[in-house]
Structure 1
Amino acid sequence: MSTAAAALPTLPPLVEPVEALSRAELERYSRHLSLPGFGLEGQRRLRAASVLVIGAGGLGAPILNYLAAAGVGSITIIDDDVVEASNLQRQIIHRDADVGRSKVASAADAVHRLDPSLEVRTIEGRLTPENALDLFADHDVVLDGADNFATRYLSNDAAELTGTPLVWGTIFRFAGQVSTFVPGHGPMLRDLFPDIPEPDSVPNCAEGGVLGVLCGTVGSAMATEAIKLICGIGAPFIGRLLRYEALTGEYSTLRFSPDPDRPTVTDLTEVAAACAAVPTGGVAASSTADDIDVAEFRARRDEVVVVDVREDWERELTSIPGSVHLPLDDLRNGGWQALATVLGGSGPAGSTDDIVIHCKSGARSAEAVEILSGSAPAGVRLRSLAGGIDAWAGQN
């Protein structure tokens, strides 16, 4: 064994094994039973384990599939979303027939198809400051496949307060990251990223896109971490951040240590405020003076110029009638001049003094308003449609 490998942290198993496996289970998990250092005892530990999986989406899908297939005895799935057609490109636990169903119900059916004897609990809702501590304390390990910063930090703080091991992963476009946080045995998320980012500082999957198969790579790595923790095998990613770039096929590892100056988490007060800014669906709540809500927008629709900063393919799905199209990248490159060129002489009463910019959910349009606010002519009012075209379509 190399010096580097010997220095990696190892931990004892998280759970005591069940007394025995049935003959059917011995046959089912025979490929595990022959693994050196894993064997019968490791499989018995998996059968005794209880796991909480936050999110039944891109990361949750491979996590749930592989943990159920591996023989974990009890899984709780929490998610407040429903299956949409756009999920099926990456959320392989769901099928076309599941569109419109709650994700937790669809996921529960899927894992029961893999293992009918698996104990599954579903929670159709969000992880919140009100339920997080009890949920974490009730499970041996938690895997966080959430799609927003507030929930990720809530998971970290709940893990730190309850002492529950947490496997963390994130994906964006063509890249993914994985780490494992075990309170008292290494650094936590706040040692790596001390502050909760602004909700709209990074586009979500709907805004920025994600390579579907990337979810399998990252989610499978997360499931592997959970199995290592449960069985006490190998060296978890404690104090290490695994980074994967799909386009280059390169993996890298960043080592990090506890920050001695970081305040200890004592309650969920700070993260509760962040969670309050993320309504159902994971889109950041908008409350700035540069926004216009859907009700006002509808009332004043004929008095404003509407600019759509989404991509061409998004407009093929749906668009606001009469809107002007200017992709955000073009706006970033050309600023006000790009918008002025596209608008030409359009606008209320032949002017362009009241402009509403929209995207899918509000993040890109807010950026567009920020880009333009410093260069727009005097008297021009720029606002972002709160909730984007999703909010507008929801009131049709």
Structure 2
Amino acid sequence: MNDNQLLRYSRHILLPNIGYEGQEQLVNSHALIIGAGGLGAPVAMYMAAGGTGKLTICDFDTVDMTNLQRQIIHTTASVGINKAESAQQALQALNPEVEVITIREKSTEATMSALVHNADVVIDCSDNFATRYALNRICLAEKKPLVSGAAIGFEGQITVFDFRQENSPCYHCLYPDTGADDALRCAENGVFAPLVGMIGTTQAAEAMKLLMGIGQSLQGRLLLLDVLSMEWRSLRLQRDPTCSVCQPS
């Protein structure tokens, strides 16, 4: 790390669990963020502020006025601009030490596989089941940790599938693929603005912990948040012995 980085990340380095070695590991890491919307915004901002060396951000959508209520990485001036490009501009202003790569086209499973292969951790901030199932299959094949989050209305959830561990459950264990993409979307159902920040920052924390090799991840646990009652619940998540994705044939 250079002198600017030592100063910028000094409050991380002061933490015994992180120290110089942990921060240097983060600086040399590469995170793939799928989606630059409500969840992807706080994920990208905290990953960049905290010093993740390289961020690849994928989003083919453009910023809409209705996004600004919760997608805090974008501004009014960003309306009409591609979300990945808008995020890149904000992150470079926030921390020029971080390399930000943008993918502005809709990814195929083949192109997504190449992106996952080159990343150290994958953070799923998408809003549809098709993308979530594809990322699950790819991360399992590539043995890359996947940080999965979702938020709608006043409720959110987050978990980690660490496919570096042989006993890890997968997203298909939690939500078996029925072939129908009936995911709830904010445009149709609404979402409480701070909720996506709470889930997104938790995703960022889990991803950074995984990259630095500190603490205990949410592997094998599903956190559920109800903002109206401000209650977090933790559920055990085990591998489905009949799962068609993660169980050997």
For 1:30, the equivalent position in structure 2 comes to 10
Distance between the aligned counterparts of 1:206 and 1:192, measured in 2? 24
> Structure 2 matches for 1:254-269, cutoff 5 A?
254-264=235-245
- 2:170 pairs with 163, 184, 188, which one? 188
C-alpha displacement of 1:260: 1.8
Bigger CA radius of gyration: 1
Give the total of aligned pairs.
245
Write out aligned runs for 1:39-54 (5 A): 39-54=19-34
Counterparts of 1:149 and 1:216 in 2: how far apart (Å)? 21
CA contact (8 A) 2:12 2:23 kept: yes
Q: Residues 138 and 31 from structure 1, CA distance in 2 versus in 1: closer, same or farther, beyond 3 angstroms? A: same
Equivalent positions of 1:109-124 (< 5 A) are 109-124=89-104
Maintained 8 Å contact 2:170/2:246? no
Q: Please give the secondary structure, in 2, of the residue aligned with 1:135.
A: helix
Q: Report whether the alignment pairs 1:159 with 2:161.
A: no
Which residue among 32, 43, 51 is the counterpart of 1:71?
Answer: 51
> Please, what TM-score do these two structures have when normalized by structure 2?
0.95
Distance 1:215 1:157 in 2: 25
Q: Whole-Å Cα distance in 1 between the matches of residues 66 and 73 of structure 2?
A: 13
The one-letter code matched in structure 2 to 1:130 is: A
Is the aligned partner of 1:216 residue 2:172?
Answer: no
2:83 matches 1:103? yes
The gaps in structure 1 that reach 5 residues or longer are 1-20, 267-396
Corresponding residue number in structure 2 for 1:148: 128
Q: Distance in 2 between matches of 1:152 and 1:50?
A: 20
Contact 1:170 1:178 in 2 (8 A): yes
Mark the runs of 5 or more structure 2 residues left unpaired by the alignment. Answer: none
Task: Give the superposition deviation at 1:126.
Answer: 2.2
Aligned 8 A contact 2:169 2:246 in 1: no
Paired AA for residue 53 in structure 2: G
User: Are residues 98 and 70 of structure 1, via their aligned partners in 2, closer, same or farther at CA, if it must alter by over 3 Å?
Assistant: same
**TM-score, structure 1 as length reference:** 0.60
Q: Which has the higher contact order (CA 8 A, sep 6+)?
A: 2
What is the alpha-carbon root mean square deviation over aligned residues?
Answer: 1.3
Q: Which amino acid aligns with 2:239?
A: P
- Listed one character per residue, the Cα deviations across residues 301-326 of structure 1 (whole Å, up to 9, x for unaligned) are xxxxxxxxxxxxxxxxxxxxxxxxxx
Contact 1:175 1:244 in 2 (8 A): yes
The structural deviation recorded for 1:116 is 1.0
Q: Secondary structure at the match of 2:131?
A: helix
Partner of 1:243: 224
Could you tell me whether the CA contact under 8 Å between 2:37 and 2:67 is conserved in 1? yes
Q: Would you say 1:253 and 2:234 are equivalent positions? A: yes
Does the 8 Å contact 2:122/2:146 carry over to 1? yes
Q: Using the alignment, how far apart are the partners of 1:169 and 1:196 within structure 2?
A: 20
Percent identity over the alignment is: 43
Q: Helix, strand or coil: the match of 1:130?
A: helix
Are 2:65 and 1:85 aligned? Answer: yes
Offset at residue 117 of structure 1 (A): 2.3
Go from structure 1 to structure 2 and tell me whether the alpha carbon gap of 1:76 and 1:196 turns closer, same or farther (over 3 Å shift): farther
For residues 144 and 127 of structure 1, the distance between their equivalents in structure 2, rounded to whole angstroms, comes to 14
C-alpha contact (below 8 Å) 2:5/2:97 kept by paired residues = no
